[in-house]
Amino acid sequence: MLLVRFIRRVAVVGLAWLILAGPAQAQMQVLRFAPLPMQDAEAVVREFRPLLAFLEARLGVRFEIDYSTDYGEILEKFRSGEVDLAYLGPLPYVELRDRDDAVEPLVVFREPDGQAHYTCSVVMFADDRQPLGALAGQSVALTQPLSTCGYLAVKALLRPAGVRLEHTRYDYLGRHDEVALAVVRGDYQAGGMKTHIARRYEHLGLVRVAETGPLPGFALVANARTVTPELQAGLRGALMSVHPGERPEDAELVTEWGEPLRHGVETVSDEDYEPVRRLRDEVPIPGQGREDWGLGGVGGNRSQHED
């Protein structure tokens, strides 16, 4: 008899918990987050998952990572409401914001030097290093049409050397790490990529031969169609509350966050990206008209150069 009473009591308590917990579980908002594919999917998830777990615990939401291999696909998903939050570099942000007023920049991530900006570099293999002026007619590896360190930055860096990028044999390879390895293997004479990522391959003989000035950093942006102003404020506040350079407990907190994410954040506004807009207008990107995201511009669709 006692055993029966105990089982009934457990059953009643369990049922009550399910009744109370069920609505809370059902009301937990799921946010679809799209990072840029600067590395392979496994590496990207490994970098972002701890940061997203922090935001989940702080705000009571749940994140799903939506990984796309093409920058243009991310922007299309954002506009169609399939993505709630995205991690964007300056050129993808500018292209999206200029076509969609629902893009709300929340914070910009600081680089390892503590600055909220970064640079792009033209890289070569040390044993095959040549002057920039000798690149006419040679092979150049680029990331993606909508990558800031792709066509946009490389063309700007080659101009002072008297070389037009369209007079080289350039291909879009996709990710920054793919560009680095292709140059190291000797598949390409030169490549364009984010300077910070290029440094990771210096031990393989990759050298930086030209570098841009500071560009506004990578931002976390919200889709105002699907993310309320209150949740935007919560996301911004949670990230702004972390000061790894000032508080030891915060430095410990971010140790598992991806290297580009663990140096703190700053507030950001659309006006901060005006230098990128001006550069984009000075350096038109082939195949990037006002209605073209450049979908299909990587992977199997290589040899994107003009004759």
Identify the structural domains of the chain with CATH numbers, from first to last.
Answer: 29-114+216-276 (3.40.190.10), 120-213 (3.40.190.10)
User: Which backbone phi and psi does 27 adopt, to 5 degrees?
Assistant: -85, -10
Predicted pLDDT at 71: 86
Percentage of the chain lying above the pLDDT 70 cut: 85
Predicted pLDDT at 152: 96
Pairwise CA distance, residues 5 & 10, whole Å: 9
Other beta carbons less than 10 A from residue 26's beta carbon: 7
| Cα–Cα separations (whole angstroms), residue 51 to 27, 101, 257 | 22, 27, 6
Predicted pLDDT at 284: 84
User: Is-contact 152 283, C-beta < 8 A?
Assistant: yes
Average pLDDT of the chain to the nearest whole number: 87
Assess whether pLDDT exceeds 50 at residue 10: no
pLDDT-derived band at 49, boundaries 50, 70, 90: very high
- What does the pLDDT look like over 151-165, one tens digit per residue? 999 999 999 999 999
Percentage of the chain lying above the pLDDT 90 cut: 77
∠ CA(170), CA(171), CA(174), 5° rounding? Answer: 140
| Cα–Cα separations (whole angstroms), residue 251 to 53, 58, 95, 141, 297 | 16, 17, 34, 36, 39
Predicted pLDDT at 38: 81
Residue 110 vs residue 23, higher pLDDT: 110
- What does the pLDDT look like over 179-216, one tens digit per residue? 999 999 999 999 999 999 999 999 999 999 999 999 99
Predicted pLDDT at 6: 37
Q: What is the DSSP letter of 111?
A: P
CA 96, distance to chain mean position in Å, is 14
Predicted pLDDT at 287: 59
pLDDT-derived band at 23, boundaries 50, 70, 90: very low
- What does the pLDDT look like over 260-286, one tens digit per residue? 999 999 999 999 999 999 999 988 888
Predicted pLDDT at 113: 86
Global pTM value: 0.78
Predicted pLDDT at 103: 97
Predicted pLDDT at 2: 40
Q: Is 50 helix (H, G, I), strand (E, B) or coil?
A: helix
- What does the pLDDT look like over 241-258, one tens digit per residue? 999 999 999 999 999 999
| Cα–Cα separations (whole angstroms), residue 148 to 65, 89, 169, 254 | 22, 7, 19, 26
Predicted pLDDT at 27: 74
Assess whether pLDDT exceeds 90 at residue 293: no
Assess whether pLDDT exceeds 80 at residue 300: no
Assess whether pLDDT exceeds 60 at residue 148: yes
Residue 295 vs residue 224, higher pLDDT: 224
Pairwise CA distance, residues 233 & 27, whole Å: 19
